[in-house]
Structure 1
């Protein structure tokens, strides 16, 4: 017999601000939540029934944490996916699926996935170290992105000319052609276990020029109906090709000639969706919960 939503324990890897907002939404469903976070004073500490301090990348910590859960989700990609795979084998539902998290947390694999699946993206070259980047100096101007552990603007260097090559990463990374774009937009899309898919209207992101982080956004994005439609379809294609269950933020460039290219994706609630708490009938957090518990997806207007 299938357990009802309130009879299941949800484990979340990560108890930061995204985790806290997810928990606040879960309170409306009366869901029992357990959190794992390395910070003893994480934002989620005092608002869940069980808070565990531990390393998200440690196999034993994640495995032992997950054994007491019916369902596991994440608020950050940098987690031990081997432990999640083992838990899934033992019958714990893990959404987004560990294989999807693994693909997304390495930007090199993520980028190759777009190319292999005919998902529009900027031209790129995979590089192993600074020396490899230098051998491709004719590819500049480009963006050098670390394969792993770059987030919130970290792990990204813009190399406009040979004078910038000293900033190149020594670790496995990729060189992505610098896109002459008009705007950066994002579409948040959700998919539940039954395969129902819903998108939120596209938003326009404005990045801080030095910190390389989203400073503010416009919702809805000031784009044509045609570009909106293209962006929505691309987001649906990505989540369906991945077969992912949960919430996916798809960041895209709108080029000056009206093309839409996928930049990066994040398999969790995202800073391009905070405004949905007040602006949309269903928030991104409620939608994530609806998706992972296989409930009908909410109205995103």
Structure 2
């Protein structure tokens, strides 16, 4: 018997969503989008495009009522609305409780540490003044817990002379890592726990703006390092029990150690 494909509502209509839509169209899957920008990249390809804020409870809740499955192409969305939709029987992937954790870099790093995943040393901070309490931790990066995106919410603190560059909101101070390359592995996991991994890519960031300048696929790394990076990413999505896509960004050190930097629960470029 023919089983109808589920209708999908996507929060966000940016370039990453457009990539998702292009793949969905090939599979004859109808995806509709919610985005505040009427001219967002998805507006031409979406089955239905709704102008509205994916951070507004009512906008997200009302939008979600029309679809079988709700997903995201940006993690900074209204979690409370997604939790309510999930309670009412809608399928929400990635799951809201996982999105809540990933939205906060403090909780992300704590998860890595608590579950034994390799990551740079860090301390939690409540404000700019806390940086002075950890002078021996410098040089380091001060990262906002919430709201950082595309290079925003990160400041390098080389010494206490840079303290004023820090943030007066909850965040973390992360020890600067001597790394050779920045890598990323995207993994996908379904409801049955089956996992697939895409080959590792290498990212080269702009030195000032913290934005990707170049991405090389496949990464110029040994097979041993590629396998090691894939195992870490697969283990992480499995431990999270996340359903959907997870992009795992990592540092490769000169000694061959791999440290998780951060994750994004969505398509990634």
Q: What is the TM-score normalised by the length of structure 2?
A: 0.97
Could you say which residue in structure 2 is the equivalent of 1:254?
Answer: 252
The answer to whether 1:147 aligns with 2:152 is no
- RMSD of aligned residue pairs (Cα, Å): 1.3
Task: Determine which of 184, 187, 194 is the counterpart of 1:186.
Answer: 184
CA-CA distance at 1:258 after TM superposition:
1.2
**CA distance in 2 between partners of 1:198 and 1:33 (Å):** 22
Could you say which residue in structure 2 is the equivalent of 1:16?
Answer: 14
User: What are the superposed Cα offsets for residues 122-144 of structure 1, whole Å, 9 maximum, x if unpaired?
Assistant: 00000000011222122100011
The answer to whether 1:132 aligns with 2:130 is yes
Could you say which residue in structure 2 is the equivalent of 1:55?
Answer: 53
CA-CA distance at 1:168 after TM superposition:
0.7
**CA distance in 1 between partners of 2:66 and 2:220 (Å):** 46
Structure 1 unaligned segments of length 5 or more: list them.
272-301
**CA distance in 1 between partners of 2:249 and 2:47 (Å):** 34
Could you say which residue in structure 1 is the equivalent of 2:77?
Answer: 79
CA-CA distance at 1:21 after TM superposition:
1.7
SS of alignment partner, residue 54 of structure 2: coil
Could you say which residue in structure 1 is the equivalent of 2:63?
Answer: 65
Within 5 A, what are the aligned runs for 1:80-159?
Answer: 80-159=78-157
Could you say which residue in structure 2 is the equivalent of 1:206?
Answer: 204
Aligned length: 269
Within 5 A, what are the aligned runs for 1:194-233?
Answer: 194-233=192-231
Structure 2 unaligned segments of length 5 or more: list them.
none
Instruction: List structure 1 segments (4+ residues) > 6 angstroms apart after TM superposition.
Output: none
**CA distance in 1 between partners of 2:3 and 2:249 (Å):** 35
Task: Determine which of 19, 35, 38 is the counterpart of 1:37.
Answer: 35
SS of alignment partner, residue 39 of structure 2: coil
**CA distance in 1 between partners of 2:125 and 2:213 (Å):** 30
Could you say which residue in structure 2 is the equivalent of 1:4?
Answer: 4
- Cα distance 1:209–1:239, how it changes in 2: closer, same or farther (>3 A)? same
CA-CA distance at 1:223 after TM superposition:
1.6
SS of alignment partner, residue 136 of structure 1: helix
Q: Which is further off, 132-141 or 120-129? A: 132-141
CA-CA distance at 1:221 after TM superposition:
1.4
